[in-house]
Structure 1
Amino acid sequence: MKIVIAGGGRVGSVLAARLVAEQHTVTVIERDAALCNRIFEEVGAVTVCGDATNPRVLEAAGIVSADVAAGVLARDSENLAFAMLVRSTSGARVMVRMLDTSYREAYRLAGVKELVAEAEVVVAKMTTAIDFPQVAGTLPLGDGDTLLFELALPMRARVAGQTVAQVRGTAGFPRECVFIGVVDPQGRATLPEGSTLLHAGHTVIMVSRRSQLSAAVDFLSAEPPARVGTGTVLAATLRKVDFLTPLSDDELEAVARGAEHIQRPAGTELFRQGEAGETFYVVLSGEVQLKDAAAQVVATVKPGGFFGELALLTGEPRTATAVTTTACELAAVGREDFRGVVMANPSVALEMSRILGERLSRAQGGKPQQKRRGLFGR
């Protein structure tokens, strides 16, 4: 698109740089000749040195053929004059940075429908950050009563492993809260559907009424309650895992107490091949199948069995996809909790590395092992 920006200050120059990077044709109108030269040389946008409220300058900037006109001048009176001139000479969409909200009605009368109220955006972001430190970012929408926000799901999030449809259908989830995006730890974003699985450590992008933001954050951040007696039972199961044998009874109990107990229906994908691994699973009830890239079953894990342990030790990508074949109860041991127990005793970490190395050597039939990263390296 062809875009004309009125104002080459901090906002104007950053906006121009972003639009040029996205392959738009950008012209910046700026009074300061030094700023014009800098934007032309550093950003690569065409610059016109002059007053954006002067019709001749607008004509020189090609406003007649512009698709979008953006006013980011230092005063609302100038942005209003710019908007009115553009509306009278061009069919371009007009958007303006509004500094003083008392100009809102004047902009409306001038036909400007796309306003960015700078103060409202800053205040909304800061107040939300104060009240909800776990929310990564917010953006007010419309009259400010609706917010777009980002939230990283905790490693023990109760909703982890559930689909978007399941979460939205759960009692207590705010009705006027909508999933619009999911971002994995590598920064890959997807547009969620009802069948999209939510994973611990992923970031969800949501739209919610401001009044329901607290309920939405509490619901998505909630962790399942600890169950009495499960720590000892799980510790006994963990004692059977070869690379955990160097741990003392107290250390195993500590790992078991930190585990997340989760329940998942049949057909739930716990993780996918190639994803970053941070969690080790023990099957308490039910059955889980591990599948290769061709969706062929390579292993079936039954109660007392475990899977995903290499992720716990090395952080390497998952080598298979794990799917529940029946309703399952699982214990999920997070890498950070496990690390806290093991790294308190370096000799234990070394012994575990040795056992893991022997197991990998046996799995490869005595073939030389490829060089692997450290016990907790990435």
Structure 2
Amino acid sequence: MADLENKRIFLVATPSLELNSQLEDVIKNHVSNTTVFTAMDGIEALRKSENVPPHVVVVDHQIQKLSAYELTKKLLLRKDRVAVIILSPEGEEQAFIDEMVTGQVQFLSGTGKVSVFNSHVTRALNWVSHEDKSIYHLRFLSPEEHLIKEGDKADFVYILKNGELKAYKQDGENEIVLGNIFPGEFVGEMAYINGEARSANVISVTDCELIEIPAESLDAVLFSKPAWSKALLKTLSKRLKNSNEEKAVKVD
């Protein structure tokens, strides 16, 4: 299976050329560094998935020759880590209870709103990237999705690869914006360094892609990746500079 950091492979299988094209455009607009293959029936989808194993398969319940249910069952038997989104008004939920809990299989009633479809894609990518054997993995967020909540335990530290985040504190009904976070910056590092609970909330402004590192593995990961150590130093330097500027404004 190709690494998600290098390329995201999608397979879209519906009996409609127009729908295949629409879904391909939506996926490419939502997920960076993506290749999308399409198929018109279940047999073609199965063949293409064998030639180039996909990370995520989007399949319409109306496909012919091999049903969406049978295609999904065959995909789940493979060693490749693959997530499936089934476009179905009713679906075969009872056959995939365990997979639905984890997010490996999801049912979507039609394509609906683009934001709803994108949220299913985000959950599928998160499932694909979360392998127990990984020291770190990718995390995907849709817009306005919380990454960190004030008061939570600092189990992970993040590096933002793509997108934009916003840090804020809640004061009653008022939201106090602390600043925005951009690609290349660490997120949640202060709680790890201080050994304290999260001191602020962090929410996605746009679609985001992050590297999620378990806090207990951070030292080892930074030792093995000097570029990430440099990114952490830059982030801490920026935080210190912003803090000093705020103090200077208050003094003035």
What TM bracket, shorter-length normalisation? 0.3 to 0.5
Max Rg structure: 1
User: TM-score of the superposition, structure 2-length normalised?
Assistant: 0.38
User: TM-score of the superposition, structure 1-length normalised?
Assistant: 0.27
The higher relative CO (CA closer than 8 Å, separation ≥ 6) is in 2
